């Protein structure tokens, strides 16, 4: 096995046992990127020299036996909407194509404090507006399982970089689906935490009331490790929760006998047959593990599309106001089609006379959707359903479909607007050999329980541990 | 013809750090762009983190202006494009301001809310002669309280008097220097002149008044201009006008057609604020004695005149100094009135940083000027001789005549008799 193929947990262990050095690990990832990224296009920026230097430093620390840096020497890819001090951060937009931030996002700061090495910044839909990476102002990322297909998005570059073993761990961000949907299409673990569990400081804002940073990884344990490091209160983000962060690793293998898992037929009806069947099969696997599976009623996820679209476009129109042409070198003509569409729709929704009809109404429906989930979680502990209605679609699918993302993300939008945590985990493959994702949703701050269920499912399905051939 | 004036007063809160970041808020005459960070520069990804002190200070101001405090309040985004507003929106408060429905000096206060200041634009000629506009972000994000009154004023002088009171209250609260010249207090006056008693359906927004000196002039000029228009049967246009202090005239800046739609919506980066009644009461307990209360008390407790009290309270430190001096002086030799007199008319307090110093000085002054013991004795003897009838009346029980005799002695001494000494000597000789 090559070093770049290791999981984060394996790499941590190997480095500490001095089976290989951080430099070897980093170089193995850099070689892999050189080999496959011309085809995949996961990365916008690769920080080769910087990463090698940091790996050298990490080896020094490892030699000294420094033990307060759990991610020491671990190569990461970071979605390009996370500000990285001294490293170009573009949000895949032409407006910010040359922008180098003078500061680190809180997530980046915490990863670096823990010893992580940033290998590079990954492609995404421009400003995170999309679910394909096709709205990137630079290029489209390809799916490692089939280069003629999309990786999903907006964190498509991060998911592809994990699926293709270009790095050991990755960070994405989700507004609605941007972690879970590309993870589903690329067969990775992707965890969108509760809104406010992870600080948004330094993440280029999209939908401020929903944006949630989270890990994209090879295993559930890796996701638990990273979440434990990046989660928690932040004096720079007033919406970050001060609730104590659990030790997610401690309870991963706790038996889940008697856990009540709900599912809503509405979510399965929205998915294609192959996806629906595979996720249903997974429910039976969970039943064998001792959980109680129960059908519950949830609103048709379609209602969430309108609510999410109005809230998100409104916030987008406000958040992109700062790119007014005075700074960053590129004026507003550099905005891509999708960004312009969103700015116009959001501006309209917030305009005098329309605010009550659109934004305020959407907020009210949002409250009702939150209540719908609260009701469900009085009956069951977790809810499971397909992550995406389909497996990865062919390149070009999003073109000429302004609502492509909203439809592709229909199954994650309800839990997103309710601020709930949700984990995507691979649960099988289609006839074409494309990964199928299942999502586990829980009440607010139930990250520990979700990871626990995800881990036991992962352990029960070792046959799914396969890698794409690129 | 009736004039209606409502005010919007902006007051920079003097918290140590800015409203949403930890940069220093003390920006006056600092080197441009030296007190900035990702938050107040609105760099991509930066988020606001509200300053609790500034929220408390705004509530204090609201309480001092007898406002109700909204137990549920929130911040909103107010959108407009201007180079001094780097986010493309200002974090302000829209429909749930911290304070509402107050009343101060007979003027109804509509609201007091909290927002952030903008950066500062500097227009100048660069090397080579090009006209350039420069942006200094040191002021960007400084906490700013905005007070809005109802249109309860009818002339410029009342506005000036009110503003001076507001400035004093703000200084007593210790939340701002409220210095118009330095921009830490800024005024916009909404003026309407109409034929009837009803508020007209237009208003002229008057801006750019940078000094107390010009407030009355600017407003009076505008009232005259509007009155002339209305007299001619014209309906004045709704517009924003600036004041040119060189010409003493107002000029049109922006008309209604360019009015903004600010697209307000709740600021998603800051959770709504909630307060309890006991919390508000505990803030109320922190309020100091306010100028008006202090003035009334000085008159009542020290018997000084309304005029002296009014001057002393203009400066909280000076009023405290006065009270301290009165406390130090225990000998009854000098009255509170004398201390107030020498402070107000002779500025004696400027020479002595310590109140005990001024008291010592006053006593010295008095001693030097008082007539000596022998002189007093001679004057008393002379008055007894010249007023034998009055002395007799006194000795027969007409006690009130003593005042007359003291007056005569002082006359003899040209007013330089120490009242204690004169009293003592006189009684010694006539009380048999």
Cα–Cα distance for residue pair B85/B20, rounded to 1 Å: 14
Could you tell me the mean pLDDT of each successive run of 10 residues in chain A, 470 residues long?
A: 96 96 98 98 98 97 89 98 98 97 98 98 97 96 98 97 98 95 98 98 96 98 98 98 96 92 95 96 96 95 92 96 94 95 95 90 95 97 97 91 80 94 98 97 97 97 95
Nearest to B50 among A101, A238, A321 (CB): A238
Contact predicate A202/A82, CB 8 Å: yes
Under 8 Å CB-to-CB from B385, ≥6 apart: which residues? Answer: none
Contacts by B119-124 with C-beta closer than 8 Å and gap 24+?
A: B119/B83, B119/B84, B119/B85, B119/B86, B120/B84, B121/B83, B121/B84, B122/B32
Tokens 């910044």 locate to A121
**Interchain pair B44, A327: CB under 8 A:** no
Q: Mutate which of A82, A124, A199, A236 to test chain B, going by most B C-beta atoms within 10 A?
A: A236
Cα–Cα distance for residue pair A337/A318, rounded to 1 Å: 17
The answer to whether position A311 is within a domain reads yes
Q: Which of the residues A21, A28, A79, A264 is marked catalytic? A: A79
Residue B271 touches partner A, C-beta closer than 8 Å:
yes
What are the chain B neighbours of A239 within 8 Å (beta carbons)?
Answer: 47, 268-271
Query: Pairing state of beta strands B204-209 and B239-244?
Result: parallel
Cα–Cα distance for residue pair A216/A220, rounded to 1 Å: 9
CA distances in angstroms from A392 to A143, A145, A430, A437, A468, listed in the order given: 8, 9, 10, 10, 14
User: Which helix (H) or strand (E) covers residue B348, if one does?
Assistant: helix B348-351
Identify residues of A whose CB sits under 8 angstroms from chain B CBs.
81-83, 89, 91, 96, 99, 101-103, 105, 200-205, 208-209, 235-239, 314-315, 317-318, 320-322, 324, 326-327, 347, 350-352, 355, 359
The answer to whether position A470 is within a domain reads no
Residue ranges in A200-245 assigned as alpha helix (H): 220-230
| Paired tokens of B341 | 């007199």
- Going by the DSSP 8-state scheme, the letter that residue A106 receives in this structure is H
- Going by the DSSP 8-state scheme, the letter that residue B61 receives in this structure is H
Q: What is the pLDDT of residue B164?
A: 94
The answer to whether position A469 is within a domain reads no
What CATH number has the domain spanning B373-430?
1.10.10.410
Nearest to B45 among A203, A321, A355 (CB): A203
The answer to whether position A10 is within a domain reads yes
Nearest to A238 among B83, B87, B271 (CB): B271
| Paired tokens of B222 | 């505008």
The answer to whether position A89 is within a domain reads yes
Q: What is the pLDDT of residue B360?
A: 77
Cα–Cα distance for residue pair B309/B299, rounded to 1 Å: 6
| Surface-to-core class of residue A97, CB atoms within 10 Å of its CB (0-12 exposed, 13-18 middle, 19+ buried) | middle
**Interchain pair B47, A200: CB under 8 A:** yes
Distance of CA A51 to the CA centre of its chain: 23
Residues of chain B with pLDDT under 70: 256-259, 330-333, 366-369, 432
B118 min Cα distance to partner chain A (Å): 14
What are the chain B neighbours of A315 within 8 Å (beta carbons)?
Answer: 268
**Interchain pair B44, A82: CB under 8 A:** no
| Paired tokens of B56 | 């408390």
Cα–Cα distance for residue pair A309/B244, rounded to 1 Å: 48
CB pairs A-B closer than 8 Å: 94
Confirm whether A79 is a catalytic residue: yes
Distance of CA B130 to the CA centre of its chain: 42
Contact predicate B34/B72, CB 8 Å: no
Structural domain count of chain A: 1
The answer to whether position A270 is within a domain reads yes
Q: Tens digits of per-residue pLDDT, B351-381?
A: 777 887 777 777 777 665 677 888 888 889 8
Nearest to B269 among A238, A322, A359 (CB): A238
What are the chain B neighbours of A209 within 8 Å (beta carbons)?
Answer: 268
**Interchain pair A239, B45: CB under 8 A:** no
What are the chain B neighbours of A200 within 8 Å (beta carbons)?
Answer: 47
Q: What is the pLDDT of residue B401?
A: 86
Q: Mutate which of B22, B44, B269 to test chain A, going by most A C-beta atoms within 10 A?
A: B44
Cα three-residue angle B195-B196-B197, rounded to 5 degrees: 135
**Interchain pair B265, A359: CB under 8 A:** yes
**Interchain pair B88, A89: CB under 8 A:** no
Task: Tell me the domain boundaries of chain B.
Answer: 2-283, 289-369, 373-430
Q: What is the CATH classification number for the domain harbouring A123?
A: 3.90.1300.10
**Residue B293's CB: how many other CB atoms inside 10 A?**
13
What are the chain B neighbours of A198 within 8 Å (beta carbons)?
Answer: none
Could you tell me which chain B residue has the CA closest to the CA of A102?
B38
Confirm whether A192 is a catalytic residue: no
Contact predicate B68/B277, CB 8 Å: no
* First-to-final CA distance of chain A: 16
Query: Pairing state of beta strands B143-149 and B185-194?
Result: unpaired
- Reference B11, options B133, B142, B124, B146; nearest CA is B146
B43 min Cα distance to partner chain A (Å): 8
Confirm whether A178 is a catalytic residue: yes
The answer to whether position A204 is within a domain reads yes
What are the chain B neighbours of A355 within 8 Å (beta carbons)?
Answer: 263-265
Contact predicate B218/B155, CB 8 Å: no
Question: What's the pTM value of the predicted model, to 2 decimals?
Answer: 0.90
Cα–Cα distance for residue pair A150/A133, rounded to 1 Å: 8
CA distances in angstroms from A269 to A266, A279, A284, listed in the order given: 5, 12, 18
B115 min Cα distance to partner chain A (Å): 16
Tokens 């001494």 locate to B413
CA distances in angstroms from B219 to B82, B148, B191, B212, listed in the order given: 27, 17, 8, 12
Domain that holds residue A60: 3-464
ipTM above 0.85, yes or no: yes
Under 8 Å CB-to-CB from B309, ≥6 apart: which residues? Answer: B295, B298, B299, B340
Under 8 Å CB-to-CB from A103, ≥6 apart: which residues? Answer: A83, A85, A202, B38, B43, B46
Tokens 């934004």 locate to A359
């Amino acid at each position: 096995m090559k070093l770049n193929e290791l999981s984060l947990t394996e790499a941590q262990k190997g480095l500490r046992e001095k089976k290989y050095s951080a430099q070897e690990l980093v170089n193995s990832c850099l070689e892999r990127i050189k080999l496959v990224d011309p085809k995949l296009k996961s990365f916008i920026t690769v920080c080769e020299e910087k990463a090698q230097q940091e790996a050298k430093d990490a080896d020094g620390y490892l030699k000294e036996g420094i033990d307060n840096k759990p991610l020491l020497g671990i190569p990461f890819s970071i979605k390009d909407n996370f500000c990285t001090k001294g490293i170009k951060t573009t949000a895949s937009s032409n407006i910010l194509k040359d922008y180098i931030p003078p500061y680190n996002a809180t997530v980046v700061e915490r990863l670096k404090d823990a010893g992580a090495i940033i290998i590079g910044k990954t492609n995404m839909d421009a400003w995170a507006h999309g679910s394909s990476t096709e709205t990137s102002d630079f290029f489209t990322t390809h799916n490692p399982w089939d280069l003629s297909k999309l990786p999903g998005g907006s964190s498509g570059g991060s998911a592809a970089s994990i699926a293709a073993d270009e790095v050991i761990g990755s960070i994405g961000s989700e507004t609605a689906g941007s972690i879970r949907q590309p993870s589903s299409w690329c067969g990775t673990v992707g965890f969108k935490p509760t809104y406010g569990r992870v600080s948004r400081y330094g993440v280029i804002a999209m939908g401020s009331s929903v944006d949630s940073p989270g890990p994209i990884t090879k295993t559930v344990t890796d996701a638990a490790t990273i979440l434990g490091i990046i989660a928690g209160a932040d004096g720079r983000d007033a919406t970050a929760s001060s609730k104590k962060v659990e030790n997610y690793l401690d309870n991963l293998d706790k038996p889940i006998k008697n856990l009540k898992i709900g599912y809503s037929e509405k979510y399965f009806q929205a998915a294609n047959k192959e996806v629906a069947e595979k996720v249903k099969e997974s429910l039976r696997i969970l039943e064998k593990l001792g959980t109680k599976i129960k059908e519950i009623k949830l609103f048709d996820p379609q209602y969430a599309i309108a609510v999410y679209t109005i809230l998100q476009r409104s916030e987008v129109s406000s958040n992109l106001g700062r790119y007014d042409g005075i700074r960053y070198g590129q004026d507003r003509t550099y905005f891509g089609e999708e960004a312009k569409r969103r700015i116009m729709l959001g501006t309209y929704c917030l305009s005098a006379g329309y605010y009550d009809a659109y934004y305020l109404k959407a907020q009210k429906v949002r409250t009702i959707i939150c209540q719908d989930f609260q009701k469900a979680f009085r009956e069951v502990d977790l809810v499971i359903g397909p992550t995406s209605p389909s497996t990865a679609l062919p390149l070009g699918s999003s073109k000429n479909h302004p609502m492509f993302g909203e439809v592709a993300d229909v199954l994650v939008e309800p839990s997103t607007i309710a601020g709930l945590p949700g984990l995507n985990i691979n649960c099988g493959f289609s006839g074409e050999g494309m990964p199928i994702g299942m999502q586990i949703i829980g009440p607010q701050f139930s990250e520990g329980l979700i990871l626990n269920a995800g881990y036991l499912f992962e352990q029960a399905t070792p046959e799914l541990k396969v890698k794409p051939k690129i | 013809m009736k004039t209606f004036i409502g005010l919007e007063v902006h007051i920079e809160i003097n918290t140590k750090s800015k409203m949403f970041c930890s940069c220093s808020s003390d920006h006056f005459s600092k080197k441009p762009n030296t007190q900035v960070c990702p938050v107040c520069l609105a760099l991509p990804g930066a988020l606001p983190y509200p300053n609790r002190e500034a929220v408390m200070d705004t509530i204090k101001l609201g309480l001092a202006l007898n406002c109700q405090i909204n137990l549920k309040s929130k911040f909103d985004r107010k959108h407009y494009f201007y180079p001094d507003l780097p986010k493309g929106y200002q974090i302000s408060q829209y429909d749930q301001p911290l304070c509402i429905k107050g009343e101060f000096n007979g003027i109804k206060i509509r609201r007091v809310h909290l927002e952030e200041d903008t950066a500062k634009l500097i227009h100048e000629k660069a090397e080579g002669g090009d006209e350039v506009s420069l942006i200094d972000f040191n002021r960007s994000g400084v906490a700013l309280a905005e007070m809005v009154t109802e249109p309860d004023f009818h002339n410029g002088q009342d506005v000036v008097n009110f503003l001076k009171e507001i400035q004093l209250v703000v200084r007593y609260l210790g939340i701002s220097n409220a210095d118009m010249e330095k921009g830490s207090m800024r005024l916009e006056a909404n003026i309407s002149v109409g034929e009837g008693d009803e508020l007209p359906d237009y208003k002229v927004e008057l801006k750019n008044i940078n000094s107390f000196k010009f407030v009355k002039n600017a407003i009076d000029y505008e009232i005259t201009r509007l009155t002339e228009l209305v007299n001619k049967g014209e309906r004045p246009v709704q517009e924003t006008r600036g004041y040119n202090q060189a010409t003493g005239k107002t000029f049109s800046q922006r008309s209604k057609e360019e009015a903004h739609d600010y697209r307000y919506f709740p600021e998603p980066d800051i959770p709504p604020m909630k307060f309890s009644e006991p919390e508000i009461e505990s803030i109320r307990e922190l309020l100091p004695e306010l100028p008006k209360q202090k003035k009334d008390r000085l008159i009542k407790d020290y018997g000084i005149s309304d005029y002296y009290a009014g001057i002393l309270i203009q400066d909280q430190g000076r009023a405290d100094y006065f009270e301290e001096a009165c406390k130090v002086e225990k000998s009854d030799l000098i009255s509170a009135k004398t201390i107030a007199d020498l402070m107000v008319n002779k500025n004696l307090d400027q020479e002595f940083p310590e109140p005990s110093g001024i008291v010592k000085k006053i006593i010295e002054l008095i001693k030097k000027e008082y007539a000596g013991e022998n002189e007093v004795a001679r004057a008393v003897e002379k008055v007894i001789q010249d007023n034998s009838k009055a002395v007799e009346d006194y000795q027969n029980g007409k006690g009130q005549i003593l005042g007359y005799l003291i007056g005569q002695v002082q006359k003899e001494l040209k007013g330089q008799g120490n009242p204690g000494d004169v009293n003592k000597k006189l009684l010694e000789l006539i009380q048999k």
